[in-house]
Structure 1
């Protein structure tokens, strides 16, 4: 009989949690009052009963012990437990207020939840370690076959081979034989039903690029009578990397593979709110420093205080970027030229200091405030250089999907670029940002930028 012990996991989980809950309740009472008999008497007897009823209702409604093997991980188990605990605490708090049970010891309740959490987490982690080891040894496994041979089929097999703790045992590929795959197949489509019956197959993975709808329909129709699962594998990896999303038209799922970035609330709203607040703070609190920088820039070399230049922003839209002038006037008479680093003789002595400390970038908080830029994001470039970069690294176009920033990973790790090759090298760092951007990641980049400014290591 397949998985004859698997059916025991659910009741065992329920029983252990109830034992842990009650042991914690009684144990906390003993620790608080140094007695055990009164816990079964009013008023604590009623609270004890409510504790168990609330937990039982949670189990019946939320079904917290039902999850696939792929999600049988420590973080998933603990997360579900903490959600259950939070709901339980909320309901008990409502009960406490409803019955005006102010005579219940808060310390007892706190210790109860701490003990219960400790016991429940210990059981889950212990059970997780045991089951992973048990399944890695070949027990309690699920047998599967893959229908339709190709790269996607090989990928799913390698995934389970690399994770024996999940307990999936591979029993062959099935497809129409060809010169490329016939030595790898266990059989063809006609051999599949007999193999499922003979080997007790639990799951049939069907690779959509390699199987037609007629054969798929037949496999699905036979699944109920023979008792096996059918799972579809569709290779969306290339699309999802570009920010695809799934839309539902009634019951029909539609994959949106537009290259447009998803309208993410966190990015479009929270990030913009942070940019505005941070820029206002930087311009407001930094106004005395801005005035001093402006005065020194004016008296150390002839020319305007600020330098404005056209850059390309989000979606290829041009905008004017503002900096404190760090070069002598008319440094690009013959056309666009990249800075040759801090040793470039076009840079003024004062400008060299501002570049090392990144103080020349301060006026760009105005660009952030009006929405052209963000505090954190890939550095914007001129169209003249973008055209040359794209010839070498076409992936640069992906950076135009996000708003450019004052500081970036490339600025921290690489700094100013003196030629196209160096711009491409810096690009390798900035390409990490669209995939990893988050509030915490932005905070890390800002902290690293402040460190570079304080140490004067800008280059």
Structure 2
């Protein structure tokens, strides 16, 4: 039954997306020409005829990004990020299409508005549909029935996490094991030994099989997978070494042999990297223009507060462990040129000027890093870069510390908007940095920037 439901859902999504595309074009045309009094050289009918080309391409793009697949395994943030990326590609396609059609009278603003409106409406439709499905699943409808093959610490944790969230719509038929084991009071039935799997699958009450074998049981794996394939039931591996795997493992292929990539970096993808860099360049340029009066006043304030240079340069370690000079407004008195490379700044540092304390508290001292972003040394969002002395120190003390250098460092980041900035736990910062690196989406960057604007400017525990 679940397969039939999935087909219906995919058809609904495809039709819904097509309808939203049409509606978005109508709204974009209406918004742009709302107060236009003259006659149209190209009317709405032409824009709607363009949709005959656009909707099939959008269908292909959305399928490429798996936007017509089940949401059970996807986060909402990830899905909305893919919608934004899809529309970015879709708008580029429309401009290319217009170029080949040699149609110069089509309003470019209408097309841009179309992309924004379509992103918004598609995101709203996905949020609404998720809420409807979750309510249905919570009431026992559209459930996916799972069978656990193997009972151990990992499968027990999987069971606990799934049962803690009924909105996922999962129900456990039971578990298979060599013998009945103590499940720690969990309400899951013992369904028999591994040999009973073929007969259980024939009853057609199981939608998916979760295989979670211990090392000494791996000899059974081939027979279990073969039984699932013969019955046409999807099987999933939940290996005992999950603690060593990222949340989103990626599998490479070398001469037909699969290799599990322990660290999948979304920003290694050329399109993702391009979108992020485009955002960095555009937003940093706009920010430099908007904040130019603040930059000028701060420069004057730094110069009047104490003798020395206005801009302070400090060596930091960036992407691929390459050093670069990070810019800040100077907030301390000029002293020993090397002392700040091996000392950790604190809130009551006596080297700080009164004006310096103010600009650090409001994070104004960070604004020159927008130049670092334009140069490509940094990004708007990413792990905060550290000084060489502390990189060498923390790499020996904190597991996974060096993974932060897989991406460009940022002016702000996931750790900072979650409160881990300044003189706080390095371990917690690294956890946040690794989460960001492995789960990056374009929308996550936007979310972090908004959180920075609304709650991240005032910094009670300033970091050097």
Report TM bin, short chain.
0.5 to 0.7
After superposition, where does 1:20-169 map in structure 2 within 5 Å? 132=137, 135=140, 145-155=147-157, 157-158=159-160
Compute the TM-score of the two structures, normalised by the length of structure 1: 0.58
Residue number in structure 1 paired with 2:378: 373
SS at match of 1:394: coil
Q: Is the 8 A contact 1:209 1:234 kept in 2?
A: no
1:256 aligns to 2:258 (yes or no): no
Deviation at 1:443, TM superposition (A): 3.3
Residue number in structure 2 paired with 1:433: 436
Select 2:399's aligned residue among 383, 394, 399: 394
CA gap 1:287/1:389 in 2 versus in 1, 3 angstroms:
same
For 1:298-320, what per-residue CA distance to the aligned partner results, in whole angstroms no more than 9, with x for missing partners?
23312222211111112222111
Residue number in structure 1 paired with 2:346: 340
Deviation at 1:211, TM superposition (A): 8.2
Residue number in structure 1 paired with 2:237: 233
Residue number in structure 1 paired with 2:32: none
Deviation at 1:389, TM superposition (A): 3.5
Unaligned runs of 5+ in 1: 15-57, 77-120
CA gap 1:401/1:127 in 2 versus in 1, 3 angstroms:
closer
| CA distance, structure 2, for counterparts of residue 446 and residue 404 of structure 1 | 14
For 1:353-387, what per-residue CA distance to the aligned partner results, in whole angstroms no more than 9, with x for missing partners?
22122222222112111111111222211122233
Residue number in structure 2 paired with 1:299: 304
CA gap 1:176/1:265 in 2 versus in 1, 3 angstroms:
same
For 1:284-332, what per-residue CA distance to the aligned partner results, in whole angstroms no more than 9, with x for missing partners?
4444543443333223312222211111112222111111211111156
Q: Is the 8 A contact 2:251 2:260 kept in 1?
A: yes
CA gap 1:348/1:308 in 2 versus in 1, 3 angstroms:
same
Residue number in structure 2 paired with 1:46: none
CA gap 1:331/1:442 in 2 versus in 1, 3 angstroms:
farther
For 1:168-225, what per-residue CA distance to the aligned partner results, in whole angstroms no more than 9, with x for missing partners?
76555444459999xx965444555566679987765444656878755555666688
1:356 aligns to 2:356 (yes or no): no
| CA distance, structure 2, for counterparts of residue 211 and residue 230 of structure 1 | 24
Residue number in structure 2 paired with 1:32: none
Select 2:251's aligned residue among 246, 251, 262: 246
CA gap 1:332/1:415 in 2 versus in 1, 3 angstroms:
farther
Q: Is the 8 A contact 1:356 1:453 kept in 2?
A: no
SS at match of 1:246: strand
After superposition, where does 1:302-317 map in structure 2 within 5 Å? 302-317=307-322
| CA distance, structure 2, for counterparts of residue 356 and residue 8 of structure 1 | 54
CA gap 1:328/1:217 in 2 versus in 1, 3 angstroms:
closer
1:269 aligns to 2:274 (yes or no): yes
Deviation at 1:388, TM superposition (A): 3.5
After superposition, where does 1:418-457 map in structure 2 within 5 Å? 423-424=426-427, 430=433, 432-435=435-438, 437-451=440-454
Compute the TM-score of the two structures, normalised by the length of structure 2: 0.58
Q: Is the 8 A contact 1:243 1:262 kept in 2?
A: no
For 1:332-358, what per-residue CA distance to the aligned partner results, in whole angstroms no more than 9, with x for missing partners?
6656222221x3210122222221222
Aligned residues: 363
For 1:1-42, what per-residue CA distance to the aligned partner results, in whole angstroms no more than 9, with x for missing partners?
xx8x9989999x99xxxxxxxxxxxxxxxxxxxxxxxxxxxx
CA gap 1:326/1:178 in 2 versus in 1, 3 angstroms:
same
| CA distance, structure 1, for counterparts of residue 302 and residue 167 of structure 2 | 65
| CA distance, structure 2, for counterparts of residue 179 and residue 216 of structure 1 | 20
| CA distance, structure 2, for counterparts of residue 397 and residue 159 of structure 1 | 30
SS at match of 1:319: strand
CA gap 1:151/1:423 in 2 versus in 1, 3 angstroms:
closer
SS at match of 1:231: strand
| CA distance, structure 2, for counterparts of residue 161 and residue 256 of structure 1 | 29
Q: Is the 8 A contact 2:280 2:379 kept in 1?
A: yes
Larger radius of gyration: 1
Alignment RMSD: 5.5
Residue number in structure 1 paired with 2:93: none
Deviation at 1:407, TM superposition (A): 2.4
Q: Is the 8 A contact 2:382 2:407 kept in 1?
A: yes
After superposition, where does 1:168-187 map in structure 2 within 5 Å? 170=172, 172-176=174-178, 187=192
For 1:30-83, what per-residue CA distance to the aligned partner results, in whole angstroms no more than 9, with x for missing partners?
xxxxxxxxxxxxxxxxxxxxxxxxxxxx9xxx9xxx988968xx9x9xxxxxxx
| CA distance, structure 2, for counterparts of residue 431 and residue 365 of structure 1 | 23
Q: Is the 8 A contact 1:309 1:322 kept in 2?
A: yes
Unaligned runs of 5+ in 2: 12-58, 80-125, 184-188
